Structure 1
Amino acid sequence: MQVKDIMTPNATTIQTGASLTRAAYLMRDANIGFIPVVDGKRLVGIITDRDIVIRAVADNRPATEKTVGDFMSDRPVCCQEDDDVNDVVRKMEKYRVRRLPVIDDNHTIVGVVALGDIAQRMSHAVSGELLSTVSRHGDLVA
Structure 2
Amino acid sequence: MKVRDVMTRQIETVAPSSSVEEIARLMKRNDVGSIPVCEGQKVLGIITDRDIVLKVIADGKNVSSVSAKDIMTSQVITVTSDQDVHEAARIMADNQIRRLPVLEQGRIAGIVALGDLAVEKIHINEAGDALSDISQGAHH
TM-score bracket, normalised by the shorter chain, equals over 0.9
Between stretches 129-138 and 45-54, larger displacement belongs to 129-138
Distance 2:17 2:125 in 1: 41
- Percent same amino acid at aligned positions? 36
TM-score by length of 1: 0.92
Equivalent position of 1:102 in the other structure:
102
Q: 1:123 to 1:86 in 2, by over 3 A?
A: closer
Aligned residues: 139
Distance 1:58 1:27 in 2: 19
Q: 1:123 to 1:87 in 2, by over 3 A?
A: closer
TM-score by length of 2: 0.93
Root-mean-square deviation (CA, aligned residues, Å) is 1.4
Structure 1 residues 20-67: Cα deviation after superposition (integer angstroms, max 9, x where no partner): 000010011111110011012210100011111110111111110111
> Letter of the aligned partner of 1:75 in structure 2?
Q
3-state DSSP of counterpart to 1:110: strand
Equivalent position of 1:69 in the other structure:
69
Equivalent position of 2:88 in the other structure:
88
Equivalent position of 1:114 in the other structure:
113
Task: Quote how far apart the aligned CAs of 1:10 are.
Answer: 2.1
3-state DSSP of counterpart to 2:131: helix
